[in-house]
Structure 1
Amino acid sequence: MENETQSLLPKNRSSNPSYSTPEGLELRSFRLGLNWFCLDQSNLWKVSLSWSFFFVLAIGVPIISHYVLLCSNCDEKHRRPYDAVVQLSLSSFAAVSFISLSSWARKYGIRKFLFLDKLCDVSDKVRKGYAEELQKSMKLLCVFVLPCLAAESAYRIWWYATGASQIPYLGNMYVSDIIVCALQLASWLYRTSIFILACIFYQLTCHLQILRLEDFAQVFQKETEVRSILAEHLRIRRNLRIISHRFRLFLLLSLVLVTASQFFALLMTTRTTTAVNIYEVGELALCSISLVTGLFICLRSATKITHRAQAITGLAAKWHVCATINSFDEADGETPMAQVVSPQMYPADVDWESDEEDEGDDLDNTKLVPIFAHT
């Protein structure tokens, strides 16, 4: 990762009125978020710090919390029969996400990994849309993580406040409970945020390609050389292949681990001898919500980019048919005195912003209107 802060927008952005902010979008907030989670591995000191935080918060604290604070002799409201499933699930996802993020940061750096170095080849509309999406990424992380953190904090505070006399402690009871509670909350926040952040990385890279596909669709509305169309098609295809190769292991492991953890939790909570109540399964429910949310972000991004790519395929097929028909129309005349202009067809009023829940897609609409474009 580069130490200097670099902008998504060009340096002469002040002379371009199309940008919403004159100073452009800086990567400062994104880098600050990575530093907060100790994911900046630009030098040996930061690498050591990053791995130390990972081992302490993702492995050490959960193990000590499970074996020391299991509280098997506590009353039924303070027992934790599903703590092993919760800790193992969160730590497994944190390990997969941390190793993936570390590998990506070490190999590519944040700018290359998020395709920021390729924005010089795209239009201002794509660059501006990607800048806005990058700016919202940390807000999206807070939206997903903070509500669950608030619920987890309320549960932990209640658990220590009402069961202080039953919970094991070292030295002063109140000081010990406060320190252990803070470490548990920090561990929960770290593991959950790491997984959600990796999913947001995937969403960002997919969103850039969606913007490029939307921009690519506009070439069929105007007179365009076939060479430029094929060149842009090959660039987008190469980027999609790179995204697939970078994220395939992370997506596969996430899907398998989420399925396994939820299936195992379902088996444990549906046993006939199990008495399910909010005190015992509340933490398990929060864990499940966090993991399924991260998987939902990935699946939604993959679905959207697949939907856009399929729409482009259909649009290109219609364009090719119209161009072929036009070439035959021009060849019909034996002694043409002037260039024959034949109307090509194009779907009207393309709306890329329609939600996936809509029953029909405008790009799949077979109602065509003529345009005059020669390739």
Structure 2
Amino acid sequence: MARSGGEVGDNYARQPLLPRKASYTRSLSHAGDELKSFRSCLRWLCVDQSDTPRAVVSWSLFFLLGLFVPAASHFLLIYSPARRPYDLAVQLSLTAVSALSYLCLSAFHRRYGLRRFLFLDKLVGESERVRLGYTIQLNSSFRLLALFLMPSFAGDVAYKVWWHATGAGRLPEYLLFFGWRGAAWVSEAAACGLELASWVYRMAIFFLICVLFRLICYLQILRLQDFAAIFREESDVATVLREHLRIRKQLRIISHRYRAFILSCLVLVSAGNFASLLLTTGHHHTEVNIANAGELALCSIGLMTGLLICLRSAAKITHKAQAITSHAATWHVLATIESFDADTEEPTSETSANAYPLSNSTAESDEEARDEDELDDMKLMPSHVNTISFQKRQALVTYLENNRAGITVFGFVVDRSWLHGLFMIEFSLILWLLGKTIGIS
């Protein structure tokens, strides 16, 4: 009887994540698993391509709201160019970034499946703390997505409603429904609705892939926190080495999957912002104000927000991964001191206390430091330190110093130094552009 129940439970656990697609059987799941909300969100955003009908709907909606509506909005509804002079820059920037995001999401979804893409298949050997923390973050990801999306959408709703309301009755005759002027408000409402749907669709696709990248990086942070605990629990250097190699492999996989997106997004967002700056500060015949440049500001803020989510997540996980080297060096020093104290004839508790300067009082007095780096706030208590030789500890620290993990973009480590260099390059280009347009030297 027990065997029969076990077989039923095993068959239930091995139900395919996307049952109508044979190629997705590698991503095993069940109907009530932690991906239920993710699959629901993908269906609402129409990026679920688990079978042929859904793939057709997904691509059709992308061509309609992602490409056709922006093009029609610019070439058909811009009958008075003086009122929306920056519409071309807005449409090109947002459409290019959303198309890049959609293509990346489609490739990830088709090639890996949800479980592999979100590294849920790697959680089998993780601790309960990692699994619980990742599940909580998984469930709160869509609230974070709404938090980023709603302000942008609300601002665009206010702008588009004002623009169409003030332009009612002035649409070209061939765009009016039923060919009579009484349908002007209906035509304006339909045009406004399509433009708003296109805006929220494109912005949601872009924010979705940024939030997913942040989620994946958060999982690696949880793993690094568990890895730091090995220094006070394990006495085998080989175990520490294997765990670090596993984390480095995961970070290389993330870097390989997202490097093209991060670099392309950086180029597209920077190019769009520089074009917007050139249009607004150059010798343009239109006056720049909130009425004609409001949508341009909303687009730039939204794209910069998504890019900063990716860059901050990448830099944060790199910083956490590289902090392991400092953590291991501190552990090595304290272990060496402890071994010398053990050899003395009259060891005192005062000497032992001085060997471990990371006390509770110090940690409690520095709340900001603890929030900045959880790894450095752990108390180092190498209970099995005497079983590890000095040479093994030194070899481990040397290995960590020469094999630092982190998120890379085609060989460049995305850390704080990389972000500082990127900021200086962008700032120099902005000053150069302003010098050419408004005369800043």
In the alignment, structure 1 residue 170 sits paired with structure 2 residue 176: yes
**Structure 1 contact 255–295 (Cα < 8 Å) conserved:** yes
Deviations 1:89-114 (A, max 9, x none): 01100110000000000110011100
Question: Is residue 2:23 matched to residue 1:33?
Answer: no
Partners of 1:120 and 1:150 lie apart in 2 by 41
- Equivalent in the alignment of 1:262: 273
Over residues 339-358 of structure 1, what are the superposed CA-to-partner deviations in whole Å (9 max), with x where a residue is unaligned? xxx97757445979x98888
Deviation sequence 1:216-246 (CA, Å, 0-9, x none): 1111123432222122111111100100000
Query: Which residue among 244, 252, 255 is the counterpart of 2:263?
Result: 252
Distance 1:124 1:286 in 2: 42
TM-score, normalised relative to structure 1:
0.83
Matches within 5 A, 1:109-258: 109-168=113-172, 169-171=175-177, 172-258=183-269
Deviation at 1:359, TM superposition (A): 11
How far is 1:30 from its partner?
A: 1.4
Cα deviation 1:175-209 (Å, max 9, x = unaligned): 22222111111110110000000101110110000
Task: Give the total of aligned pairs.
Answer: 345
How far did 1:26 drift? 2.7
Letter aligned with residue 287 of structure 1: C
Render the CA deviation track for 1:296-320: whole Å, top value 9, x for unaligned. 1111111211121121111012223
Task: Say if 2:224 and 2:320, in contact at 8 Å, map to a contact too.
Answer: yes
Give SS of 1:120's match: coil
Deviations 1:28-78 (A, max 9, x none): 2211111111111111222221111111111100111101111226xx5xx
1:291 lines up with 2:303 in the alignment: yes
Comparing both structures, which one devotes a greater share of its residues to helix?
2
Name stretches of at least 5 consecutive residues in structure 2 with no aligned partner.
1-15, 20-28, 178-182, 345-350, 389-441
The correspondence of residues 91-102 of structure 1 with structure 2, limited to 5 A, is 91-102=95-106
> Which of 104, 107, 113 matches 2:108?
104
What percent identity do the matched residue pairs reach?
A: 50
Contact 1:25 1:131 survives alignment (8 Å) = no
Amino acid across the alignment from 1:143: L
Helix, strand or coil at the partner of 2:124: helix
Does the CA contact (< 8 Å) of 2:169 and 2:185 recur in 1?
no
1:56 has 2:60 as partner? no
Residue 363 of structure 1 and its aligned partner are, at CA, apart by 5.4
SS at match of 1:38: coil
**Counterpart-to-counterpart distance in 1, 2:235 and 2:117:** 31
Secondary structure of the structure 2 residue equivalent to 1:121: coil
Alignment equivalent of 1:319, drawn from 287, 309, 331: 331
Q: Following the alignment from structure 1 to structure 2, what is the Cα–Cα distance between the partners of residues 288 and 189? A: 15
One-letter identity of the residue aligned with 2:223: R
Judge conservation of contact 2:358–2:380 (CA < 8 Å) in 1. yes
SS at match of 2:46: coil
Asked whether 1:69 is paired with 2:80, we answer no
Instruction: Give the structure 2 partner of residue 44 of structure 1.
Output: 52
Contact persistence 1:199–1:295 (CA under 8 A): yes
Distance 1:221 1:45, change over 3 A: same
Q: Tell me if the contact between 2:370 and 2:376 (Cα under 8 Å) persists in the aligned partners.
A: no
Shift of 1:373: 2.8
RMSD, aligned α-carbons: 3.1
Q: 2: CA distance between counterparts of 1:286 and 1:355?
A: 35
1:3 pairs with 2:14: no
Does the CA-based 8 Å contact 2:217-2:317 persist in structure 1?
Answer: yes
For 1:218 and 1:102, how far apart are their aligned partners in 2?
Answer: 37
**CA separation of 1:83 and 1:242: change in aligned 2, threshold 3 A:** same
Q: Which residue of 1 aligns with 2:384?
A: 373
User: Hey, what's the Cα distance between the residues in 2 that align with 1:163 and 1:320?
Assistant: 72
User: What is the rounded CA distance, in whole Å, between the counterparts of 2:86 and 2:272 in structure 1?
Assistant: 12
**CA gap 1:288/1:151 in 2 versus in 1, 3 angstroms:** same
- Give the gaps of 5 or more residues in structure 1: 5-9, 12-23, 334-341
* Corresponding position of 1:89: 93
2:430 corresponds to which residue?
Answer: none
**Retained in 1: the 8 A contact 2:228–2:375?**
no
TM-aligned CA deviation for residue 163 of structure 1: 1.4
Distance in 1, Cα, partners of 2:95 & 2:299: 11
Tell me if structure 2 keeps the 8 A contact 1:126–1:208: yes
Equivalent-residue separation in structure 2 for 1:215 and 1:107 (angstroms): 30
C-alpha spacing 1:225/1:272, structure 2 compared with 1 (3 Å): same
**Structure 1 residues 360 and 158, CA, compared in 2 at 3 Å: closer, same or farther?**
closer
What is the distance in 1 between the residues matched to 2:56 and 2:264? Answer: 26
